[in-house]
Structure 1
Amino acid sequence: MKKVLLLALSLTAAGFTAQAQTTKPAAAAAKTTGPAITFEESKYDFGSVAQGGIVDHVFKFKNTGTQPLIISNIGVSCGCTTPEYTKDPVAPGKSGTIAAHFNSAGKMGMQNKVLTIESNAAAGNTTVSLVGEVKEAGTTAAAKGADAAKKANK
Structure 2
Amino acid sequence: MKKLFVAVCALGLVSLAHAQTAPATPNNAATQQQDFSKVIEVTDVDHDFGKIPYGKPVEYEVTLKNISSDSVKLLNVQAGCGCTTPKWEAGPYAPGESFKIKLGFNGMTKGNFTKYVTVFLTNGLSKQLKFHGETYEAPDNAAPANGTVGQLKPSGSK
Q: Please tell me the TM-score bracket, short chain as reference.
A: 0.5 to 0.7
Which position in structure 1 is the counterpart of 2:76?
A: 73
**Aligned ranges for residues 4-153 of structure 1 at < 5 Å?**
36-105=39-108, 107-120=109-122, 124-136=125-137, 138-139=138-139, 146=143
Matches of 2:142 and 2:106 in 1, distance apart? Answer: 27
User: C-alpha offsets along residues 90-141 of structure 1, whole Å, 9 cap, x if unaligned?
Assistant: 1111100000010012x1111111110011267x2101122100112x14xx
Which position in structure 2 is the counterpart of 1:14?
A: none
Which position in structure 2 is the counterpart of 1:12?
A: none
User: C-alpha offsets along residues 54-102 of structure 1, whole Å, 9 cap, x if unaligned?
Assistant: 1110100100111111111111111000001132211111100000010
> Computing the radius of gyration over CA atoms, which structure comes out larger, 1 or 2?
2
How many pairs does the alignment contain? Answer: 110
Structure 1 unaligned runs (5+)?
Answer: 1-31, 148-154
What amino acid does structure 1 have at the position aligned with 2:116?
Answer: V
**TM-score using structure 1 length:** 0.64
What amino acid does structure 2 have at the position aligned with 1:112?
Answer: T
Matches of 2:40 and 2:89 in 1, distance apart? Answer: 12
What amino acid does structure 2 have at the position aligned with 1:71?
Answer: L
Identity of aligned residues (%): 28
1:145 shift after superposition: 5.8
**Higher normalized helix content (fraction of residues):** 1
Matches of 2:46 and 2:89 in 1, distance apart? Answer: 19
CA contact (8 A) 2:51 2:135 kept: yes
Coordinate RMSD, CA, aligned: 2.4
Structure 2 unaligned runs (5+)?
Answer: 1-34, 145-158
Structure 1 runs, 4 residues or longer, greater than 6 Å off: none
Instruction: Find the residue that maps to 1:69 and give its secondary structure.
Output: coil
What amino acid does structure 1 have at the position aligned with 2:107?
Answer: S
What amino acid does structure 2 have at the position aligned with 1:134?
Answer: T
Matches of 1:121 and 1:57 in 2, distance apart? Answer: 27
Matches of 1:88 and 1:120 in 2, distance apart? Answer: 11
- CA gap of 1:80–1:36, structure 2 versus 1, over 3 A, is same
Instruction: Find the residue that maps to 2:100 and give its secondary structure.
Output: strand
Which position in structure 2 is the counterpart of 1:3?
A: none
